[in-house]
A and B are shown apart, each in its own frame.
Chain A
Amino acid sequence: MMTNSTKSKLDPAGTRYSALALTAPVAMGYIPLGTVFGFLFVQAGGDGWLAVLASLFVFAGAAQYMMIPMIAAGSSAGTIALATLIVNLRHAFYGLSLLDRLPRAGWLRWYLVFGLTDETYSVLTTMPESTSLRQMAWVALLNHAWWVTGTAIGATIGARAQVPLAGLDFVLAALFAVLAVEQWRTRMSPAPLWIALAAYGVAYSLAPTHALVIAIVLSTAAGIVWQARSATAATEARDD
């Protein structure tokens, strides 16, 4: 399955080498953060092989961190699936900007789509337009490998030592903080952040236990109104 055979014939080894270089910064993050996931999962009472399986088949850091306390508390699969939907909703928008870059159907493209994490997406968007599907798939595969490797290391450590430190799960909040800053940086408009702050404040004062879902509904509604107004303003400006 080669969509760009001339390019891969020219330098198959070079393809791997540059993908390796491109994913090196991701490895610096994925291996230690995967280690923390594997460690926390095993400490919460899960088998190590299940942690590795989760990293192999889910491959979504924030959702995997979020799942640990939920699975330890015995939440239903449906509840965890809904939480995953909320945490990973942003990924539905990543593909929109890659539609033209991944034109052909085939298992290589579907693997790339599966591996479209925040980090893989940001590496792909820095690669030139001419990059072959094969080369992009290498980036996804290597990132996937770093994440699974880290998880296996963490699961092994976690199975050997009990660490009774309170607050280690703050790593999820920290990951959300990092993702928020990166979203802020790419959009260069902090309005969604202020709207979300207000929405969460209202939702929390109404019903703390359902604050998450209420806040998302409120800020989505506010976002639609806010955008409808700015779109109207843009249309009016064009008409003038």
Chain B
Amino acid sequence: MIDSGYALGVIAAMGLVTFGLRALPFVAAEWLKRHPMVPRLGRFLPLAIMTILLLHSIAGAASAHAAGPGPELLAAALVMLLQWWRRNALLSILTGTVVYVLSRNLGWL
């Protein structure tokens, strides 16, 4: 069981960090506008970080079994193709996850 007091602390910390990030441009607008690097990093970092997070969770999932990162890469590619084509986040996420869960549980590895 997860301890409730500990979980409450985690939720509070996550809530503060998330709100802080979302509020930052509104409290530090003047400072941010003076730095031309900020909007440029805004164009660069979101895609770079998302790509890294995707790779990191693929690596994490692949380390849980002995078949290499094949199933993860395949399912991730499926999600990206579906999202590019249909632009329906729910469809992409559920299809990719179902294909991945099937491949892990039906002994396709």
A contact residues vs B (CB 8 Å cutoff): 28-29, 32-33, 44-47, 50, 53-54, 57-60, 62-64, 67, 71-72, 74, 77-78, 80-81, 84-96, 98-99, 102, 109-110, 113-114, 116, 165-185, 187, 189-193, 195-197, 199-200, 204, 208, 211-212, 215-216, 219-220, 223-224, 226-227, 231
* Interface pair B105/A166, CB less than 8 Å apart: yes
Q: Are B49 and A211 in contact (CB under 8 A)?
A: no
Q: Which residues of B contact A90 (CB under 8 A)?
A: 45-46, 49-50
B 43-80 contacts with A by CB, 8 A: 43-59, 61, 64-65, 72, 75-76, 79-80
Contact B79 A174 (CB under 8 A): yes
- Complex Cα spacing A71 to B10, Å: 8
Q: What are 18 A-B contacts defined by CB distance under 8 Å?
A: A50-B4, A62-B53, A64-B14, A81-B17, A87-B49, A89-B49, A94-B22, A99-B25, A113-B23, A169-B61, A173-B76, A177-B83, A192-B45, A192-B46, A196-B47, A200-B51, A212-B56, A216-B49
Pairwise interchain contact B97-A171, C-beta atoms closer than 8 A: yes
The CA of A90 and the CA of B18, in the complex, are separated in Å by 10
Task: List the 8 closest A-B pairs by CB distance, nearest first.
Answer: A95-B25, A93-B42, A196-B51, A167-B104, A90-B46, A180-B50, A183-B47, A173-B57
* Contact residues in B for A71 (Cβ distance below 8 Å): 2, 6-7, 10
Q: Is the CB of A57 within 8 A of B15?
A: yes
Which of chain A's residues has its CB closest to B25's CB?
A95
Task: A46-B1, A96-B39, A204-B55 are known; give 17 further A-B pairs, CB within 8 A.
Answer: A81-B16, A85-B21, A90-B49, A91-B22, A93-B46, A95-B24, A166-B65, A166-B105, A167-B105, A173-B54, A175-B93, A185-B84, A196-B51, A200-B55, A200-B56, A219-B52, A227-B44
Chain B interface residue count, CB cutoff 8 Å, equals 71
Complex interface bits, B7-39 against A, C-beta within 8 A gives 1, otherwise 0: 111111111111101111110010010001111
- Shortest C-beta distance, A34 to chain B (Å), equals 11
Residue ID in chain B nearest A223 by CB atoms: B44
> Quick one: given A166-B101, A192-B44, are A180 and B54 in contact (CB under 8 Å)?
yes
Cβ contacts under 8 Å, B29 to chain A = 99
Shortest Cβ gap from A35 to chain B (Å): 11
With A197-B51, A219-B48 already in contact, the answer to whether A92 and B25 are too (CB < 8 A) is yes
Residues of A within 8 A of B2 (CB): 44-47, 50, 71-72
State in angstroms the CA–CA spacing of A8 and B96 once bound together. Answer: 43
